[in-house]
Amino acid sequence: MAVSDRVKKGMVMGSWIRRMFEEGIAMKKQFGPENVYDLSLGNPTMEPPPEFKREIKRLADHPFKGMHGYMENAGYPETRAAVARQLSKETGLKLTENDVIMAVGAAGAINVALKTILDPGDEVIVFIPWFVDYFNYVQNHDGVVKEVPTDEHFMPRLDELEKAIGPRTKAVLIDSPNNPTGVVYSVETMTRMGDILRKKEAEFGTEIFIVSDEPYKKIIYDGMKYPSPLNFHRHSIIATSHSKDLSIPGERIGYVALHPESSNHDDMIKGFIFCTRVLGFINAPAFMQNVVRNLQGVTIPVSEYQRHRDFIYNNLIKFGYKVNKPQGAFYIFPKCPIADDVAFVHELQHDHHVLTVPGVAFGAPGYFRLVYCVDDALLEKSMPGLEALAKKYKLK
């Protein structure tokens, strides 16, 4: 077969979310879209904020020469400076355009970061449950994934992190607010993580980076504040996008940012620029760089997602499911009422037309993920199916 063994394995591991989404499309054709309740893909139905449309109109009405052409691989200096100002405001650190490279979404940013820092055989630690494509991203650059468990609340087991770090550990790839659990890593967790990494750096004479995947960092509930890794470890890399905070996932615009006091800072930034080019991105989308330049402090109405969070959480608890209350993002990760999460997800799909994703897709069998970045009506119509299976398996 022409497809490589690596890609075949990746296709099996990483296909669950898209498979459910595509099955949902087929089901909508068969049963009608009003009778299929797709909670499988984090594709926000919320429209971008009005400021986004204002910027598009402004640029369309007043284009500048070369607006759709190449720029330097790092991205427009003015956009990078705007990102740096926002990060400085959020963290209290002084970042400049020289700490930021524009990227093709968070996925592009993570790949740029990992390609820059990994030699073949270098290890990247991830916490279970993890976003489905992390394994593939690490393997893209000949790295090795080391999995570390979380506790019953999905917070990182830092004792296990310390034991997992060795001389080949190059990065800890984190995701907070987390997909699929909605957990936000606490200040205490980030403080201890930074302490452990510095201890291990001293022990092995290496640099160990936190690579922080944070497209949900502005979607946080109940008045919580986001603890940026930049405030806890100087070897931190931010990889993010505006897919979720501006509700524009299809536009593929994000950035990678490096702590201004990181070792070998200038060489790292040059590495990010080089990898942006050789990975085939060349540069982040030109038009979107100009659009988001003036939107760094803008976010969709988070209160709407919090309202959805409360609705789905309260109903799942009422039905008898065991589930942690999400603190951010727009995912919830209940315990399955039966051991086989794949069988449960298929039963929910075929008998009740509710599409979700099994926990095995995130390295956590026995759970299932639902999204709530959907319309009110769809969310409400999904509840009877979840309630029916709760009653069938006698959760109460």
* Confidence category of residue 154, pLDDT binned at 50, 70, 90: very high
Provide the pLDDT for residue 15.
64
Provide the pLDDT for residue 3.
84
Mean pLDDT of the region 120-144: 95
Provide the pLDDT for residue 9.
72
pLDDT (tens digit per residue) in 188-220: 999 999 999 999 999 999 999 999 999 999 999
Mean pLDDT of the region 315-327: 98
Q: Which residues of 12-28 are buried (b: 16+ CB within 10 A; e: fewer)?
A: ebbebbeebeebbeebe
Mean pLDDT of the region 76-87: 98
Mean residue pLDDT of the chain comes to 95
Phi-psi region of 17 (alpha: psi -120 to 50; beta: other; left: phi over 0): alpha
Distance CA 36, CA 58 (A): 39
Task: Please give the backbone phi and psi of residue 239, each rounded to the nearest 5 degrees, phi first.
Answer: -125, 115
Give me the residue label for tokens 């505006």.
242
Least confident of 29-33, 101-105, 217-221, 335-339: 29-33
The fraction of the chain above a pLDDT of 70, given in percent, is 97
Distance set, CA 146 to CA 80, 124, 127, 278 (Å): 33, 6, 9, 26
Q: Is the pLDDT of residue 16 over 90?
A: no
Mean pLDDT of the region 88-99: 98
Provide the pLDDT for residue 132.
82
Mean pLDDT of the region 347-373: 95
Query: Which tokens is 327 given?
Result: 């603190």
* Confidence category of residue 24, pLDDT binned at 50, 70, 90: confident
* Confidence category of residue 33, pLDDT binned at 50, 70, 90: confident
Provide the pLDDT for residue 25.
79
Provide the pLDDT for residue 369.
97
Mean pLDDT of the region 98-112: 98
Mean pLDDT of the region 373-390: 96
* Confidence category of residue 163, pLDDT binned at 50, 70, 90: very high
pLDDT (tens digit per residue) in 248-306: 999 999 999 999 999 999 999 999 999 999 999 999 999 999 999 999 999 999 999 99
Mean pLDDT of the region 122-131: 96
In sequence order, the β-bridge partners of residue 171 are 124, 209
* Confidence category of residue 12, pLDDT binned at 50, 70, 90: low
Provide the pLDDT for residue 394.
86
Q: Is the pLDDT of residue 29 over 90?
A: no
Q: Would the CA dihedral through 45, 247, 90, 128 be positive or negative?
A: positive
Verify cis geometry, omega within 30 degrees of 0, for the bond prior to 177. yes
Domains of the chain listed by start with CATH number: 50-148+168-177+207-218+227-292 (3.40.640.10)
